[in-house]
Amino acid sequence: MIQVESFAEGKWHASKTGNREVRHAVTGEPIANVSSSGLDFNAMLDYGRTVGGPALRRMTFHERGRMLKAIAMYLNDNKKELYRLSGYSGATKRDAWTDIDGGIGTFFIFSSKGRRELPDETFLMDGQLEMTSRNGTFVGHHICVPLEGVAIHINAYNFPCWGMLEKLGPTFLAGMPAIVKPASVTSYITEAVVKLIIKSGLLPDGALQLICGGVGDLLDNVTGQDVVTFTGSATTGLKLRSKDTILRNSVRFNMEADSLNFSMLGPDVSPGTEEFDLFIDEVAKEMSIKTGQRCTAIRRTFIHESNVDAVIEALSTKLASVRVGDPSVEGIEVGPLVSADQVAEVAGAVESLSTAGEVVFSGADAIENSGDGAGAFHPMTLLYCDKPFSSGTPHDVEAFGPVNTIMPYSNLDEAIELAKLGQGSLVGSLVTADADVARTMVLGSASHHGRLMVLDSTSAKESTGHGSPLAHLVHGGPGRAGGGEEMGGVRAVHHYMQRTAIQGSPQVLSSIGNEWYVGADRPESQIHPFKKYFDELSIGETLTTHRRTVTEADVVNFAGVSGDYFYAHMDDIAAKESLFERRVAHGYFVLSAAAGLFVFPNKGPVLANYGLDNLRFTQPVYPGDTIQARLTCKRKTEKEPREEEVLQGVVEWHVDVTNQDDELVATYTILTLVERQS
């Protein structure tokens, strides 16, 4: 018998009283006791705020990203025990892979996002500088800094690993500590993951705490600096969201609730086509993975009325071939539900759904090795509701298991209306070979769904499927789905940060943001900046180059070298009739000539040109004009060291190119790889 422990204030805590018994999903035997009695929840909050928070906030995004990667690698190397424990919950190997490896994968993705898309700073300058005055001496910007509270993550039972890690990734990347509260029925798996993370020694003290059992008065002590996230039923979520402390203190509350997700077969698809087979496979898969216990699983399936019989027959045949039983037995594809209570809940939902339709497939007689009736098994069940607009039941009642209802539509307008009757969902999917059908369906129903997936024969080989949220994309949905949003790459990080508008002079904002802005000081460099190592360069230091007069020969020669004989450069008559009124130099010649003005030719710390951003040609350059460039150090970012590679960093240079009248003719940012001394 496992005594599931909590991790509070840097110590593991095993409760002696108030234990809840957890049973094996297959055999029904007791496997664990769970209780949080004896924990001081307010002290846990204080520990996170005063110990974990400051430690994380001292780290930069890149340091936090490297930390996430190291933890993910450690979990990858020690996940065997997690797979064993997942079997107790009724998970098949495929189910466990989705939960465990999928969860670890989110840490890898957020690590990469943090190191590639966020600065090597403890804060984030969000968006672009806003010019709020005529002469540019009073400007504005937005800065994002970590909240100074604790993120409280209350998670569902179905993904004890992924459900925790997909929230912790952006939380830690943002610089916030977390308290995790898993569902008791699978908390022993979450506990094992947390024990591995703590054992790794890779997290600062106080960054992660765990509550296995009830949360007591935890939510009575939250402040406006805390964040609460919840995954589970809408009823429980509403109760938590309505707590006085959350409302009074304007605590950020993110909710992701179970929803009536849909999948639709396009009217253009008929039996015998590749898209038809893809649709049948996708629906059957979504009813099978985690035994339908996914918040993203397909609950409503829309079929054009001409294809209803064919779909019911094909899907019933497919479901009949799926082996249901004890996941420890070789070849079993679908296991039990997580508990006997869940079986009763799903059975009740099926009974309600049956009042609005008929059961067209049931796998009740096909369950193998069911633990002599003690296992939490429920048959795969397919229903058909022939009048989906006459009854609200299929659009109101969710069976959180391997249950799905087929509904007919006669045209796309009806299909869109059916999609909306779910009152907001996490995901909808469409299988079609017609791009116009996809466009109509997406634009017509996107307002009611957090994610829409369009599947066809082109994307099928690499598709991650209807029910798989990706860390790169937002996960959440409007209305019934909770109105929240998780993941979505860097978007998720913003949920744990405060965005503050700052105003002042360009120099002040440049000093705050550690980045040069137009209008800030540009001290002239006494040494050519390309002769300096990364460490020696200062933000704002500037090189003003010598001048160069553009000749007609330059234009002709550049056309010959580049092959660009555009009429505005080469044809006097056509150029006179153009907006330029006479022949003009190539924009890319101006770019190349500017590089010739500011590049230092000798070998030095500059290793390579890394790229060019935000190029704009603001004024034409004519033969006879004289150009000059100003090169300003805008931002510096250290690169992670690699084996047998010199230490280096990326330097962003702001470049202005002006003509003889000091008019701006081109502006852009170039990036160079520059060697570091240390």
Q: What is the DSSP letter of 517?
A: -
User: Which residue is catalytic, options 5, 148, 166, 256?
Assistant: 256
Rounded to 5°, angle at Cα 33 from 28 and 37: 150
Edge-to-edge order in the sheet of strand 381-384 = 358-362, 381-384, 403-409, 298-304, 261-265, 428-431, 452-455
Give the C-alpha separation, 467 to 376, whole Å. 23
Q: How many Å separate Cα 40 from the centre of its chain?
A: 33
One-letter amino acid for residue 34 of the chain? V
Which residue intervals of 518-629 are DSSP H helices? 552-562, 567-570, 572-576, 587-598
User: Which residue is catalytic, options 144, 161, 212, 295?
Assistant: 295
Rounded to 5°, angle at Cα 237 from 235 and 243: 110
User: Phi first, then psi: what are they for 612, rounded to 5°?
Assistant: -145, 135
652 is catalytic: no
Give the C-alpha separation, 657 to 379, whole Å. 71
Give the C-alpha separation, 635 to 609, whole Å. 15
Q: Which of 631, 401, 421, 364 is nearest to 522 (CA)?
A: 631
Give the C-alpha separation, 211 to 462, whole Å. 38
Q: What is the DSSP letter of 273?
A: S
One-letter amino acid for residue 474 of the chain? V
Give the C-alpha separation, 621 to 552, whole Å. 11
Would you state the structure tokens that stand for residue 606, as one six-digit string?
């500059």
Q: Strands of 28-148 (E only): list them.
A: 30-34, 124-131, 139-146
* Cβ–Cβ < 8 Å for 32, 23: no
Q: Which of 14, 464, 495, 431 is nearest to 254 (CA)?
A: 495
Give the C-alpha separation, 3 to 20, whole Å. 10
Would you state the structure tokens that stand for residue 313, as one six-digit string?
């027959």
Residue with tokens 């465990």: 100
Residues 232-253: b if buried by 16+ CB within 10 A, e if exposed: bbbeebeebbebeebeeeebbb
295 is catalytic: yes
Which residue intervals of 543-599 are DSSP H helices? 552-562, 567-570, 572-576, 587-598
In order of 102, 166, 170, 479, the CA distances from 229 in angstroms are 20, 12, 12, 16
* Cβ–Cβ < 8 Å for 547, 595: no
Q: Any idea which residues carry the catalytic annotation?
A: 256, 295
